[in-house]
Amino acid sequence: MRPMNVLLVNPPIYDFTAYDFWLRPYGMMRVAGQLPPSCQLSFFDFLTVSKRDAWGRGRFESAPVPKPEPLRDIPRRFHRYGRPRAQFQDFLRAHAFDAVLIQTSMTYWYLGVRDVIEDVRRAQPPARIVIGGVYATLCPSHARSLGADLAIEGARLDPLWRLLSISPQKGIPYWPPEYADVGVLKITEGCPFRCTYCSAPLMWPEFTERPTADCLEELNHLVAMGAKNVAFYDDALLFRADRALIPFLDAVIKNKSPISFHTPNALNARFMTPELARRMVHAGFASFFFGLESRDPLWQQSTGGKIRTDEFAAATACLREAGARSVCAYIIAGHPDQEIRDLEESIRFAHQCGARVLLSEFSPIPGTTDGLKCAPWADLNEPLSHNKTAFATRRLGTDALNRLKDLSRSLNSQLKQLS
């Protein structure tokens, strides 16, 4: 019996902006790691980067393209990020596959997924096409309309195994050679909080810790591949740290792992302590990203109460004392319940605490409480209307949004940090 040939695809992105901020198709690679040895794996990555910074980030190859109709009113240039479509079509003509697994991410990035499905269907009609990830979970009906054989919602993989007629195995994520330089990792799943704007509870309904031994096995594999930077994809990395993060840190410190760690998914400042800060810095954490979102106590409480301003100030102080050199704060811009004045005060507050400000333009997420509030500015049935640049522009206006960005850049320039 010949092996099953499986193609893994990281699709192109259509958007106003996109950047490789430690972006890896981790979910798809974890699924690929569970495929039995009888499967022959191939990988096509549209999102290549020619030059990376010291922390492994960089700009995707891109080209301007016409804006789709739902985004015509946004005064920004629209781009396709990724390798030319013709290269993928040539690749399909040169190889035959039994199954094609496609990672999906932002709901409003579905145009790239659609391209991949169309090209596979045209070149190899018998291939079974499976999509999974954020878009497939949050917009299942829309995702199914693209023509895949299966759209996986959440982490329920049984339909995949039935479609492929295989039994999964326990294994670490599959990482192709082109991903040797930058790795990603999760030591927990889900989030205990229920923020009204966040998709995490829809993706992972429960919070659980992964076995430390499994996480260390993944890390050791990344180190053996040559990774120098590893980004954590956890939604609540610091929660119940005694059960997950601290045992992991102790092992990393003991083994003297030569890795710089990063936290792009945002840490919850409530759980940072002086001792935890010291451990993380000692273990090699080079960048700390916190989800402050807003300093307004009423807004904080109404959206789930995950953080207070005093907790954020205390966390940044802990990290400064521990010797951290790069601390950043995400501030949401464009939430339906925010006002410009609150945003400006939040930006200034984060700066006063010694954190660089990263404006996180708000995207309405289907199935969330706050997503439902966004109907005046977005057609929630059209995923392109979830686009963060488009929504923040419509909600705040171009001039106001640019003033907030200028304020953030001006204050950030005053901070001497590596990032």
Helix runs in 257-368, H state only: 274-283, 297-302, 309-322, 340-352
CA distances from 214 to 183, 210, 262, 388, 399 (A): 15, 7, 19, 35, 49
Given a cut of 60, whether residue 419 has pLDDT beyond it is no
Residues 132 and 235 grouped into a single domain: no
Give domain status of residue 288, yes or no: yes
The confidence score (pLDDT) of residue 417 equals 53
Q: In whole angstroms, what is the distance from residue 163 CA to residue 281 CA? A: 45
Confidence tier at 257 by pLDDT (50, 70, 90): confident
Mean pLDDT of 154-171: 94
pLDDT digits (tens, 9 = 90+) for 389-409: 999 999 999 999 999 999 999
Q: In whole angstroms, what is the distance from residue 72 CA to residue 394 CA? A: 12
Given a cut of 80, whether residue 141 has pLDDT beyond it is yes
Residues 24 and 59 grouped into a single domain: yes
Cβ burial, residue 94 (10 Å; 0-12/13-18/19+): exposed
Give domain status of residue 408, yes or no: yes
The confidence score (pLDDT) of residue 2 equals 78
Choose among 308, 332, 271, 316: nearest CA to 417: 316
Q: Tell me which residue has tokens 């289907």.
A: 366
Q: With the CA atoms of 271, 277, 279 and 285 taken in that order, what torsion angle do they form, in degrees rounded to the nearest 10?
A: 100
Residue where a domain stops, chosen among 98, 131, 164 = 164
Q: Count other Cβ atoms within 10 Å, centred on residue 366.
A: 19
Q: Tell me which residue has tokens 């009204």.
A: 196
Mean pLDDT of 64-88: 98
Give domain status of residue 172, yes or no: no
Residue 122: CATH number of its domain: 3.40.50.280
pLDDT digits (tens, 9 = 90+) for 230-239: 999 999 999 9
Provide the domain limits for residue 209.
180-412
The confidence score (pLDDT) of residue 1 equals 63
Residue where a domain stops, chosen among 164, 197, 226 = 164
Mean pLDDT of 322-350: 96
The strand pairing partners of 182, in sequence order, are 229
Residues 141 and 208 grouped into a single domain: no
Q: How many domains does the chain have?
A: 2
Residues 264 and 405 grouped into a single domain: yes
Confidence tier at 303 by pLDDT (50, 70, 90): very high
Collapsing DSSP to helix, strand or coil, 7 comes out as strand
Number of H helices, E strands in the chain: 16, 18
Residues 193 and 334 grouped into a single domain: yes
Mean pLDDT of 55-66: 97
Residues 237 and 316 grouped into a single domain: yes
Residues 212 and 149 grouped into a single domain: no
Contact call for residues 363 and 387 (beta carbons, < 8 A)? yes
Give domain status of residue 169, yes or no: no
